[in-house]
Copies of this chain bind each other. A is one copy, B any other.
Amino acid sequence: MPIKTAKNRHHLMVPGFRAAGVACGLKKTGVEPPQGALDLALIISDTKAAVAGVFTKNKVKAAPVLLDIKRVKKGVSRGVIVNSGNANVSAGRAGFLSALRMASAIEKGLGLKSGEILVASTGVIGVMPAIEKIEAGAPGLIRGLSSLGLTDAARAIMTTDAFQKTATARGRIGGKIVTVAGIAKGAGMICPDMATMLSFIMTDANIKHPALRKALKEAVDKSFNSIAVDNDTSTNDTVLIFANGAAKGREIKSGTADYKVFCKMLSEVALKLAHLIVKDGEGATRFIEIDIKGAATISDAKKAAKTIATSMLVKTAFFGADPNCGRIIAALGRAGIRMKEDRVDITFNGVPVARRGLDTGKEKEAAKVMKEKEVNMTVNLGIGKAAWRFWTTDLTYEYVKINSAYRT
């Protein structure tokens, strides 16, 4: 079951799914659609698919998030339409109607019932969505649907992303070859729970609610909910999974060996996509893995990891390859966890930088390994046995540049 980024469009094919990406003029490029940057995506299952979703915990939720939360409750869906360039947040009743109209444009075009299509949006917050452009783009989007269309869809959902994000896993479940493939977007406003991130995962496995929902929740917790680029939680975060059973395998029931294999495949795809988001983190020069060990509880381990991962002082120290363990200890102290500074051990890529809370003096050696592209920071709190793993970026000039010039 090798896990990989899809090298070409064929790797991303999932039996019974088609997708497309087109330009409808939401991204300002100075070129009229259908030329210009792709900004409208569609993913369709040929048959009814089991569906599950995980959404932002921000109190301000985009209209499409509110719509999807309602619609995924049914447990079945035919697909999702996604636009970039406008997040459809704060537009009240008009925003909600726009989300409904986006879904409706696809439902009508494909002869589906109302409620069968989900919606996602990403982009600028607080600007009324240009629903007419989306409606004008819908027919072309439907015409473009193809079993090889997922890479176009992956490009159409990008905002500040530097590259498109895809992952796929294939494995054997109940004697049938099963595929799990996903796309994602996100580079900034990335902080649990969750991120300005969207991810859509498709599988031809035969798995229904609530097993699908349970599997998704577990996978998201250890992937998309364990990453941070900055300290801002988005209003639009959405992860959707569609399972259409096209592999014609027996139904995967919770708790079985089949379920375990499926969860492993799903977790690996989700983790790969989450890592791609961190690697594309706005302005990032390093990919930092934070291993918290020896915590009193899992909750403490998560809090410790998140506090370190979002500390501006820790993140700038990583940019400068400065093994400043004091900043990590100070972050732990405000994390609201059980800890004693003189029990804390810290290593960077195996080099001990703090032992029992004190600098080990191995600054030169530590600074050298911190200059690597990928750095593991292991923090042993020395209190209990709980552990958690989390990923983040450094904080760089480029992050400031990107975010001080996003719109103007």
User: Which chain A residues have a beta carbon within 8 Å of chain B's beta carbons?
Assistant: 57-61, 87, 89-92, 124-128, 188-189, 230-235, 310-313, 316-317, 319-322, 324-327, 329-337, 339, 341-342, 344, 354, 356-359, 363, 367, 395-397, 399-401, 403-408
Contacts and interface: CB of A to CB of B under 8 A. Distances in A.
B58 A408 contact: no
A337 B60 CA distance: 11
A330 B400 contact: no
A116 B108 CA distance: 82
Given A333-B60, A339-B59, A357-B90, A400 B403 contact: no
Given A126-B329, A317-B406, 18 more contacts: A57-B334, A58-B330, A58-B333, A59-B334, A59-B337, A61-B333, A89-B341, A90-B342, A126-B354, A126-B357, A128-B358, A233-B330, A233-B334, A320-B403, A322-B406, A322-B408, A324-B406, A363-B408
Contact of A396 (B230, B359, B400): B400
B316 A399 contact: yes
A349 to B, nearest CB: 17
25 contacts: A58-B330, A60-B330, A61-B333, A90-B341, A90-B342, A90-B344, A92-B342, A124-B324, A125-B329, A126-B354, A127-B359, A188-B313, A232-B312, A232-B331, A233-B334, A235-B333, A312-B395, A312-B403, A316-B399, A319-B400, A319-B404, A320-B404, A322-B404, A396-B400, A400-B400
Copies in the complex: 2
Nearest to A331: B232
A317 B403 contact: yes
A405 B330 contact: no
Nearest to A230: B312
A59 B333 contact: yes
Could you say which of A60, A127, A317, A367 has the most chain B C-beta atoms within 10 Å of its C-beta?
Answer: A60
Given A59-B333, A334-B232, A404 B317 contact: yes
Nearest to A231: B312
Contacts of A126: 325-326, 329, 354, 357-359
Contacts of A59: 332-337, 339
Contacts of A356: 92
A311 B234 CA distance: 12
Contacts of A335: 59
B408 A321 contact: yes
Contact of A367 (B57, B233, B325, B408): B408
B89 A326 contact: yes
Nearest to A236: B330
Nearest to A188: B313
A326 B400 contact: no
Contacts of A324: 124, 406-407
Query: Which 6 residue pairs of A and B lie closest in terms of their CB atoms, listed nearest first?
Result: A125-B326, A320-B404, A60-B333, A90-B357, A316-B403, A126-B326
Contacts of A405: 320, 322
Contacts of A341: 60, 89-90
Contacts of A342: 90, 92
Contact of A395 (B61, B127, B188, B400): B400
B330 A189 contact: yes
Contacts of A234: 330
Contacts of A319: 400, 404
Could you say which of A312, A331, A363, A405 has the most chain B C-beta atoms within 10 Å of its C-beta?
Answer: A312
A310 B231 contact: yes
B58 A92 contact: no
